[in-house]
Structure 1
Amino acid sequence: MQHVESTLGPDVPIIVWSPRDGARFSLDELAAYLAEVKDRISAQLDENGGVLLRGFDCVHTSGDYQKVLDVVAPDLMDYVGGTSPRKVVNGRIMTATEIPGSYSIPLHQEMSYTDNSPDRISFFCERPPEEGGQTTIGDMRAITRAIDPKVRERFETHGGVQLCRNLPLPEKVASRPGVPKTWHEVFATDRREEAEKVAAKSGWRYEWLDDGSMQLWQEVRPTTRQHPRSGDDVWFNQVHIFSPVSALKWARLDGRTEAADRLARALEEAPQLLDHMRYGDGTEISAEDVLHIYDVLLENETPVQWQKGDVLVLDNILVAHGRKRFSGDRSVLTALIQHAH
């Protein structure tokens, strides 16, 4: 082995790979080495949930990151239907998010509100932030055990969860609370008929509202998902992000007072224009249960401080990710990995 393995702590489900004895790698040498040991990477992702390549000092740009991905995760996917604002950087490599640094991001598994979620997700630190901005990590096996069994039972009894979104026109975004995505961004088109085709193909119900926005009901999803290799059945949804009551708590914890006030007014005046989640049978989820889920995830997050050139790969079922607030410049890129299980 040309690398050594360590951990970030007893409760962090990530194995850190670093060069053995300070060995130096060129980018081509690292790619060749990773090709030799990619089965070991895959096995560690299935068992632990994450692998962090750190200290190799040869991954500097999105092109370098792509070369690493070509070896360890050659089958990348697009972000059609995703909720976070992102920019394409290179091929299917994107910015991790365009959500401002004044926002934290709660733990979540990528696109767990759709049937087409990635099997794994990768991140690359091009520039670490000046202050804050750690990526948070959560072991979903431990988090699932921490959720009140009665709460889990209620979700299962009511047939899972469904995300309902309101996707505005670009000129209406500034008037909405939070950081909403337009239907142009979600469907990568400015033509209604094209957006309708993608929605229909995905099995999503939609309605055009008088203000030009699209009301979109995505597929009903189970609340948990079983890992196909480890067999672990873990919590797998984003009810704690898309329920207005938890979004309000999130804004207040971040200190985003103005955003919290706008959200509170929208809840009173136009709740139909806010993203929300319901049980799969269409009934409302209680605020108490939503906030219980939010609190469990918050209590189980572990911050990981970025170093320049880090490449992180996570199993998207076993490990959730999020972000701390930050100030200054921060550049973290991401890629969504399919057909890995």
Structure 2
Amino acid sequence: MQHVESTLGPDVPIVVWSPREGARFSLDELAAYLAESKQRISAQLDENGGILLRGFDCVHTSSDYQKVLDVVAPDLMDYVGGTSPRKVVNGRIMTATEIPGSYSIPLHQEMSYTDNSPDRISFFCERPPSEGGQTTIGDMRAITRAIDPKVRERFETHGGVQLCRNLPLPEKVASRPGVPKTWHEVFATDRREEAEKVAAESGWRFEWLDDGSMQLWQEVRPTTRQHPRSGDDVWFNQVHIFSPISALKWARLDGRTEAADRLARALEEAPQLLDHMRYGDGTEIAAEDVLHIYDVLLENEKPVQWQKGDVLVLDNILVAHGRKRFSGDRSVLTALIQHAH
């Protein structure tokens, strides 16, 4: 059985694989076909950054998605230390995010604030939204070229970036601006000693505050990362998401006025309770540099309109992903791929 290859447009760095007209694949046939095509899939991911499996009507459920992943991405990883609220659906398959549809999500590479980021990431559209909700993608090679070289130089001179997070108790979440995660969620435990053990094993510094929250300093990361096979050196961090100044702009662009007002008050009254990023040497990052990065990423995002049953696999270094705001029901699942083959 054969497939047809196409693209979503000249500026969208992914290849679409669809069955030839009239062809029908069973799930077992699709799995066998993908197994035969594994080397080609890997080569296309290294070159284009993404593959979208579309029109294979046999992929309906998370179990079907798992069968596809068993072939194209057998090495899945857990989400310990991640920042987005997610729910486990099946094994290591999770909801893409529990962030409400009133939020867009800026382009980013998954877990780029840690040393243990996935090589690739996959998404499965179980139910497309009624309005909006496109997944956005961005070519990080083009984005890196678009960043002002002087801004890049300042990040490199100051030794990269470090994420500092405040992880509240469950009963304190509602009082915090943004979408904070509790330390219970981040470390998958409600025991302090277990959370401390995971933090220490990860090389993270932490402090317990009087309100029961954990102040967590994750590892210092370089601002770029070299792709192990293509050799491309691309921007690889989330300074534009975790800096409060850009989070404020993000809320206002979304029209989340109340959230923006709460964030602005928190910046004045209790900035230590907000997630933030600093240069690797501990100094503060200039607001205009953070906003420049935010704007470059926003200008380079390309929307992918979901169809039911779509399976998208992205190289997590070469291609960033995000989301448009949406209304109505939407179910997109995700899996983190630890090792590329």
Please tell me the TM-score bracket, short chain as reference. over 0.9
Q: Give the match for residue 13 of structure 1.
A: 13
Per-residue CA deviations over 1:124-172 (Å, capped at 9, x if unaligned) read 0000000000000000000000000000000000000000000000000
Q: Give the match for residue 132 of structure 2.
A: 132
Deviation at 1:16, TM superposition (A): 0.0
Q: Give the match for residue 104 of structure 2.
A: 104
- Whole-angstrom CA distance in 2 between matches of 1:77 and 1:56: 26
Q: Give the match for residue 284 of structure 1.
A: 284
- Whole-angstrom CA distance in 1 between matches of 2:97 and 2:242: 17
For 2:21, what is the secondary structure of its paired residue?
helix
- Whole-angstrom CA distance in 2 between matches of 1:74 and 1:230: 22
Give the stretch that moved more between structures: 285-294 or 21-30.
21-30
For 2:36, what is the secondary structure of its paired residue?
helix
Deviation at 1:45, TM superposition (A): 0.2
For 1:22, what is the secondary structure of its paired residue?
coil
Q: Give the match for residue 262 of structure 2.
A: 262
TM-score of the aligned structures, taking structure 2 as reference length:
1.00
Are 1:156 and 2:156 an aligned pair?
yes
Deviation at 1:20, TM superposition (A): 1.4
Deviation at 1:22, TM superposition (A): 2.5
- Whole-angstrom CA distance in 2 between matches of 1:301 and 1:80: 27
- Whole-angstrom CA distance in 2 between matches of 1:177 and 1:27: 44
TM-score of the aligned structures, taking structure 1 as reference length:
1.00
For 2:37, what is the secondary structure of its paired residue?
helix
Q: Give the match for residue 66 of structure 2.
A: 66
Deviation at 1:339, TM superposition (A): 1.4
Unpaired runs of at least 5, structure 2: none
Per-residue CA deviations over 1:70-121 (Å, capped at 9, x if unaligned) read 0000000000000000000000000000000000000000000000000000
- Whole-angstrom CA distance in 2 between matches of 1:285 and 1:133: 32
For 1:123, what is the secondary structure of its paired residue?
strand
Deviation at 1:21, TM superposition (A): 2.5
Per-residue CA deviations over 1:285-325 (Å, capped at 9, x if unaligned) read 00000000000000000000000000000000000000000
- Whole-angstrom CA distance in 2 between matches of 1:339 and 1:58: 26
- Whole-angstrom CA distance in 1 between matches of 2:112 and 2:320: 10
- Whole-angstrom CA distance in 2 between matches of 1:35 and 1:228: 23
- Whole-angstrom CA distance in 2 between matches of 1:177 and 1:340: 36
Q: Give the match for residue 248 of structure 1.
A: 248
Unpaired runs of at least 5, structure 1: none
Per-residue CA deviations over 1:12-64 (Å, capped at 9, x if unaligned) read 00000000123000101100110000111000000000000000101000000
Per-residue CA deviations over 1:250-289 (Å, capped at 9, x if unaligned) read 0000000000000000000000000000000000000000
Per-residue CA deviations over 1:195-222 (Å, capped at 9, x if unaligned) read 0000000000000000000000000000
- Whole-angstrom CA distance in 2 between matches of 1:61 and 1:204: 37
- Whole-angstrom CA distance in 2 between matches of 1:46 and 1:66: 22
